[in-house]
Amino acid sequence: MTVRDSPLANLRRTVARHSLIRPGDKVLVAWSGGPDSTALLHLLLELRAEIPFEIAAAHFNHRLRPAADADAAFVRREAARLGIPCLTARRDVRAFARARKLNLEEAARTLRYEFLRKAAARAGASKIATGHTLDDQAETVLIRLLRGSGPRGLSGIHPTVEGTIIRPLLGLSRREILAYGRRNKLAFRRDETNADLRYVRNRVRLRLMPYLERNFGPGLASSLGRTAEILRDEDGLLETFAARTYARLAGKPKQGESAREGGPGRREGAALDARRLAGLPAALARRCVRQFLRDLKGDLRKIGFEDVEAVRGLKDGETVTLPDGLIVRRKGDRLASPDRPSPPAAYLYLWDGRGRLPIPAAGAVFSGRRFGSATRGRPAYDDGALAFCDLEALAFPLVVRTRRDGDRYRPCGAPGRKKLKEILRAKRVPAGERSALPVFCSGDEIVWAPGLPVAEKFKVTARTTRVFMIRKSGLPRPPAAKGAA
């Protein structure tokens, strides 16, 4: 292998091409202990000699395998040997999957990325690096092709997501990574479930990919990776065009304009012009319907091609029931969800941070607590129920209000400011819940909203001397009437 084609040179090109790491970044490596993530960590340590950035590691124990605890111990031991900070956590993925009615793979991914984002915030990391390889990319494209995915699905694994999650190994094959590990005598753990043919990905990896390479020529992973890249670029262009079309069909204000808050023109994506939708080319109409359903539902989980076509084909007076109980009805030229509750009235409270703050519209009560910077005695961290802030950075009274159009803030660990609405959508918060969500502000600046990270400006750091904690709990139930059964 030439120096030009070395794993480090390949990773360096991927990082530069997609601007994955910049000088001064702190990168949190998602380290399972397997060969891919172990190679990723060591390649980033090599790259650090060329680009000044910091590295930390994080390991999530899914508790799905007998060797899971040994994997976690291996990662902690190796991190200590390398002098790298390492954050770890463990969750019962099976119990979570049962409670949320998810399959194991989906439940594991949800909990893993939730942990990684919180770990990045705790470590002060601006990037989360995962060990996805060229082979992972090829397998993903094949799996989605077999399921009948469109261009977005076939665009595969993206090199970066939201500017935070990065995949520097997407240009390297698994064979190259294993060879790199052998040359550098890297120790790693093996996941015995990777040989379990009950999983679709393993059947694709161990049976379909080798069969195709034997019978149709080598280099399949590279070809599929190139296809994914082409489709990713074209899908991005089409989606930009579709977003503009959708905004017109949904009656949303044009860029630079804003509907009067609470006024009759405010639609929040709840309705779609069916007549104009029918006049669009099918490819564009499908994208508009997908955006419409995302606005109504908060995400597109379980929404398939047939669901989109059913919405497109609705006649006046017809109704269709979609996954998770979402109902869409056509009345005249208007597509809407009749079961969607009206948004609650806007509210605004001034809170000095003392005592309890009930917010009936949000179905919650909030309380504040002040203490020193020491972590002893603090409850377990949870974005949905707790926020820890630098007390000295806050200006009291805090303003607690409903979300407004155009709200932006910089979440802890994020590279820049983002629209609050887009963050809530990425977090899969249903559209019907976003209107009542309380937003805590210090002056005009957003501090926190339940379920989201604290703002970068108000986070607790090593220099924090006093901490302010906001805790969310449910509203107390009214007392039962005397004599009630």
Written as six digits, the tokens of 397 are 């009274």
Written as six digits, the tokens of 447 are 């501090």
Q: How many domains does the chain have?
A: 3
Indicate whether 381 pLDDT > 60: no
Q: With the CA atoms of 101, 106, 110 and 112 taken in that order, what torsion angle do they form, in degrees rounded to the nearest 10?
A: 130
Residue 19 lies in a domain: yes
The pLDDT tens digits of the residues spanning 332-365 come to 999 998 865 555 567 888 898 988 899 888 888 9
Q: What is the pTM of this model?
A: 0.68
Residue 243 lies in a domain: no
Residue 1's Cβ-side half-sphere holds a number of Cα atoms within 13 Å equal to: 14
Q: pLDDT > 70: what percent of the chain? A: 88
Domain boundary among 314, 336, 358: 336
The pLDDT tens digits of the residues spanning 408-453 come to 999 888 888 888 888 887 776 766 677 788 999 998 899 999 989 9
User: In this structure, are 51 and 184 located in the same domain?
Assistant: yes
Residue 240 lies in a domain: no
Judge contact between 109 and 195, C-beta under 8 A.
no
User: In this structure, are 79 and 192 located in the same domain?
Assistant: yes
Indicate whether 115 pLDDT > 60: yes
User: In this structure, are 27 and 130 located in the same domain?
Assistant: yes
User: In this structure, are 93 and 153 located in the same domain?
Assistant: yes
Position 274: which residue type?
Answer: A
User: In this structure, are 71 and 172 located in the same domain?
Assistant: yes
CA distance 260 to 235: 33
Written as six digits, the tokens of 206 are 């161990």
Residue 308 lies in a domain: yes
Helices 35-47/174-183 angle, 10° precision? 70
User: In this structure, are 379 and 291 located in the same domain?
Assistant: no
Residue 481 lies in a domain: no
CA distance 25 to 20: 10
User: In this structure, are 436 and 293 located in the same domain?
Assistant: no
User: In this structure, are 35 and 101 located in the same domain?
Assistant: yes
Domain range holding 39?
A: 7-231
The domain that contains 291 carries what CATH number?
1.20.59.20
Q: Report the pLDDT value the prediction gives residue 467, as an integer from 0 to 100.
A: 92
User: In this structure, are 26 and 145 located in the same domain?
Assistant: yes
Phi, psi dihedral angles at 9 (to 5 degrees) = -65, -40
Per-chain mean pLDDT for the chain: 87
